[in-house]
Amino acid sequence: MSEGLYPAGAPDARFAWSERFLARITEIPAAALVVIEIFILLASVIARYVFRHPLIWSYEAASGLFLWLAMLGAVIALRRGEHMRFTGLVARLGPGSRAWLDGVATATIAIFLLLLLNPACTYVGEEWKTTIPSLNIPDSFRGAAIAVGAVLMLVIAVRRMLRADSPWLAIGAVGIAIVVAAGFWLATPLFIAMGNFNLLVFFVGLVGAAIAIGVPIGFAFGVAAISYLTLTTSVPLSVVVNRIDQGMSEPVLLAVPMFVFLGLLIELTGLARSMVSFLAALLGTVSGGLNYVLVGAMLLVSGISGSKAADMAAIAPALFPEMRRHGARPGESVALLGSAAAMADTIPPSLALITLGSVTGVSISALFAAGLVPALILAASLLVVIFLRSRGDKPPERKLDPRRIFSTFLKALPALILPVFIRWAVVDGIATATEVSTLGIAYAAIIGIVLYRPVEWRRIYPALVETAALSGAILFVIGAATSVAWALTQSGFSANLVTFMTAVPGGAAGFMAITIVVFVLLGNVLEGLPAILLFAPMLLPVAQSFGIPEVHYGIVVIVAMSIGLFSPPFGVGFYSACVIGRVNPDDAIGPVWKYLGAIFLALLVVAATPWL
């Protein structure tokens, strides 16, 4: 089978040197940028709150370096095969067919990057006219990150095609992509004559086809945006680059890599394990007690990393062996793990809340304040299911051990303080999400070194690289989706959507019901965040026209999206939970529905009760 988009087996000796070279020129600078960003932001907080002398240049410097971090992270994610993509259809095909589709997907990425290069260079030239005020350097320094990133990703895509098992496979895949592109070009007069109906061709048909064959979601969005603007408008393509820049450079998104690294850090230092140990000691004598521990641990840890996979990875290794030792079925445990992750997506500081606030203008502090109670209601629905199914089960422990509870509580107390501190500081407006993330990193590092275990320094560098890769994958989708959202807005689609949705029968209740169904489906096929990025900004004004509070609507959207993300058959979150729990998805599909069903019923309660 061809490598396609993803590495397979040992690297080809002919390309080993290029693999090492690409790794060094991207991973080392990206890891360094994560460290620099942490120090700049932490220094800014200390200067303002301790010395009462704010560093005026700090946020502009951090924002300028942030785009470089995001693009280098996107490059690393592409090289390592970590961009978000849908594999449900491709995985069902035979090796030969998968190889062909991977080749076409890689060629599609290469064509998109080729089309992006010239406008990216044009954009750099345009940005030369402006300067970053406090640093007095041209803004093109920041904008050049997109051009450099596009070049490096193009090199990776070409290298992937050259590594194909058969040169005919690579040639054929490129040929198919070129034929499709030529067909779209020849159909230009037809697209123009279609008016706004051509939006279905580009943003439904083309995006859907690209995602179906395995093109990462961010690149699928980019291909659709560039194709639409090139073939149906006279808008310069530098606008796409500008929208990608604006989408990836939102100041609030600086919190993404910070929280990702914080999540990895609490796992490295043992903070997550100490929290799980305390909960296990406290609930050990309750039937199904370890299931309650899993839900409680996810409530504590969720949102700190910015990644659901990282949240689950922090809990499962510490808890699953003990659950299996007491007779828990692996499929049942994984089903509960995924459902608990879906339940906790509105707990601050959730990446979904940060993203929603950044693209809609809704107060992130208000979303943080509003998200906790709905999450507790969703958690209560899971606890009810656990109680009903575990009645009569033998408890893990015969009797409570006060000494063990006290000792594990003392050990876990510093770790328990961290999520409470983060949520309190952000919700009360004491610090921004970005500032509190750096404080959390400093706290976790100090507590981990002093109170828990010696830090395995050899794991720090991989954690920094993983932070850059995960952040880059997330931010690239945000940037590409921003360009699509701009194109849809300029086409008049947003106004038409508002008009259509305003006429929905049933008033506010009908509109809310449709919203829940739509975002469950979109979350199932679009990995959650893209659904929020594309549709939340369009539907929020409609919700307001029905008198639905924007914060209430935002919480409902995020929960519905999370349910879809962790639902079979396409939900990527569900399969991530299976991988982390090392369980065949077939063993978890049956048990997961009762947990997701309980969460869905709880969502209906939240949707019907705004004051929650």
Task: Please give the share of the chain, as a percent, with pLDDT higher than 70.
Answer: 85
Contact of 560 with 519, CB cutoff 8 Å: yes
* SS3 call for 515: helix
280 vs 417, which has greater pLDDT? 417
Span 369-387, average pLDDT: 88
- pLDDT at residue 154 above 90? yes
Helix (H, G, I), strand (E, B) or coil at 431: coil
Considering the chain, what percentage of its residues have pLDDT values greater than 90? 10
Q: What share of the chain is helix, strand, coil (3-state, %, to 5)?
A: 80, 0, 20
Among 16-25, 238-247, 349-358, 400-409, the range scoring the smallest mean pLDDT is: 349-358
Q: Is the pLDDT of residue 100 over 50?
A: yes
Whole-number pLDDT of residue 33: 93
- Distance, in Å, from the CA atom of 212 to the CA atom of 88, rounded to the nearest integer, reads 8
Residue 68 is predicted with a pLDDT of: 92
Higher pLDDT pick, 319 / 269: 269
Query: What secondary structure, in 3-state letters, does 558-611 show?
Result: HHHHHHHHCCCCCCHHHHHHHHHHCCCHHHHHHHHHHHHHHHHHHHHHHHHCCC
Looking at residue 4, what is its pLDDT? 40
Residue 5, pLDDT score: 44
473 within 8 A of 298, measured Cβ to Cβ: no
Q: What is the pLDDT of residue 527?
A: 57
Instruction: Write down the pLDDT at residue 377.
Output: 92
CA-to-CA distance for 90 and 354, rounded, in angstroms? Answer: 32
Chain centroid to CA 41: 22
Higher pLDDT, 422 or 22: 22
The predicted model gives 340-362 an average pLDDT of 79
The answer to whether residue 127 scores a pLDDT higher than 70 is: yes
What does residue 187 show for φ and ψ, rounded to 5 degrees? -85, 10
pLDDT at residue 114, rounded to an integer: 92
Range in 292-306, 332-346, 372-386 the model is least confident about? 292-306
Three-class secondary structure of residue 159 per DSSP? helix
| Model pLDDT, residue 7 | 45
> How confident is the model at residue 165, as a pLDDT?
67
Q: Mean pLDDT score of the chain, rounded to an integer?
A: 80
Does the pLDDT value for residue 313 go beyond 90?
no
In this predicted structure, what is the pLDDT of residue 486? 80
Of residues 332 and 498, which shows the higher confidence score?
A: 332
Which whole number is the average pLDDT over 485-499? 72
Give yes or no for residue 209 having a pLDDT over 60.
yes
- pLDDT for the residue numbered 153: 93
Is the confidence at residue 510, as pLDDT, over 90?
no
pLDDT at 281 (0 to 100): 78
Nearest to 315 by CA among 355, 280, 349, 350: 280
pLDDT of residue 162: 80
> pTM of the prediction?
0.76
Going by pLDDT thresholds of 50, 70 and 90, the confidence category of residue 14 is: low
Q: CA nearest 27: which of 463, 475, 473?
A: 463
pLDDT band with cut points at 50, 70 and 90 for residue 1: very low
Q: What is the pLDDT of residue 2?
A: 34
Long-range contacts (CB closer than 8 Å, 24 or more residues apart) made by 461-465: 461/31, 463/261, 463/264, 463/265, 463/268, 464/30, 464/31, 464/34, 464/35, 464/261, 465/27, 465/30, 465/31, 465/76
Q: How high is the pLDDT of residue 443?
A: 85
Of residues 303 and 107, more confidence is placed in: 107
Q: Say what the pLDDT of residue 125 is.
A: 83
List CB contacts of 244: < 8 A, sequence separation 6 or more.
146, 222, 479, 480, 482, 483
pLDDT at 408: 84
pLDDT value, residue 396: 61
Q: Is the per-residue pLDDT at 305 higher than 70?
A: no
Give the model's pLDDT for residue 8: 42
pLDDT at 35: 92
Mean predicted confidence (pLDDT) in 473-477: 82
- Residue 509, pLDDT > 50, answer yes
Q: Which residues pair with 138 in a beta bridge?
A: 131
Tell me how far apart the terminal alpha carbons of the chain are, to the nearest angstrom: 52
| Range picked from 318-322, 404-408, 460-464, 589-593 for highest mean pLDDT | 460-464
- Examine the pLDDT at 3 and tell me if it is beyond 70: no
